[in-house]
Amino acid sequence: MFKNTFQSGFLSILYSIGSKPLQIWDKKVRNGHIKRITDNDIQSLVLEVEGTNVSTTYITCPADPKKTLGIKLPFLVMIIKNLKKYFTFEVQVLDDKNVRRRFRASNYQSTTRVKPFICTMPMRLDDGWNQIQFNLSDFTRRAYGTNYIETLRVQIHANCRIRRVYFSDRLYSEDELPAEFKLYLPVQNKAKVSANNVHASCHVGLQLRLGFSLMAPYSFYSALLLTKAHRAKVVHFYIGCQLECKHCLVCISKNEQDQSTISVAVLVANRHVSLQQ
């Protein structure tokens, strides 16, 4: 779709308050709904995707299954509201080996699995609105040892509310973002959100052990400190640990207590091993 389009800066594929937010998307609904509603927190139109089964209610882009997006921008950003129900999304990319890989994140699994054509990973969102930032180039390199070429397809399943989905050539600071790419809250809600304005604790983890060196956890947007009340909480993805396993470097870094011996869960050849530091 966008293969022959000049790509720089931002490329939006869904905006909930647009005249036709699903113009280039297809939707599948079974025992659920996909509709535009007014969200109470931001007092603005959002797209709600809900269903009793996450696998049978979703939106997918592009709408034509024979077409691909052809987006070369390496960062996928989604502004999503946590509905405290099962939720998953999937991104299909093409690498320099001409192999199609899929990355699937969900909040109902606890371990990361890397298979030849799909990488599944755990995800946890904070309450309310979250900003999911996905470094597709880095994920492809760390999981498969190949180079990211382009994104072919994006699929968002129940259950969530969506404000915007876009790609960018890099991660932008708050001041650099265009106004329409920011999430604003009504004045009366700012105090409430500010009190809960913390990092989203989302681990998608794959701490890969390459040779004998243990790679430290990688934050895709560690510079974003959420100092402004109108911003969505940022989801940090890590390629590889168990969700809150309390054994990996990601989880241990949250604990300020000194420990002389720590057991680190590391994914090696699709299995977890225990290392002693």
pLDDT value of position 174: 82
What pLDDT shows up at residue 6? 79
For residue 189, the model assigns a pLDDT of 52
> Six-digit token pair at 91?
């991104």
Cβ atoms < 10 Å from Cβ of 201 = 16
Low-confidence stretches of the chain (pLDDT < 50) are 188, 190-230, 240-277
Using the Cα atoms of residue 141, residue 146, residue 152 and residue 157 in order, give the sign of their dihedral.
Answer: negative
Query: What pLDDT does residue 237 have?
Result: 56
Structure tokens at 230: 């109108």
CA-wise closest residue to 90 among 152, 45, 154, 44: 154
- 162 DSSP β-pair partners: 47, 80
Residue identified by tokens 């969530």 is 160
> What DSSP character marks residue 208?
B
Query: pLDDT tens digits for 55-106?
Result: 999 999 999 999 999 999 999 999 999 999 999 999 999 999 999 999 999 9
Task: Indicate the domain borders of the chain.
Answer: 10-245
Report residue 67 CA to chain centroid gap: 23
φ, ψ dihedrals at 249, nearest 5°: -65, -30
Can you give the pLDDT at residue 124? 86
How many Cα atoms sit within 13 Å of 53 on the Cβ side? 6
- DSSP character string of 134-162: EEHHHHHHHHHSS-EEEEEEEEEESSEEE
Say what the pLDDT of residue 185 is.
62
Q: Which amino acid is at 149?
A: I
Answer whether 0.75 is exceeded by the pTM. no
Q: Which two tokens stand for residue 236?
A: 């940090």
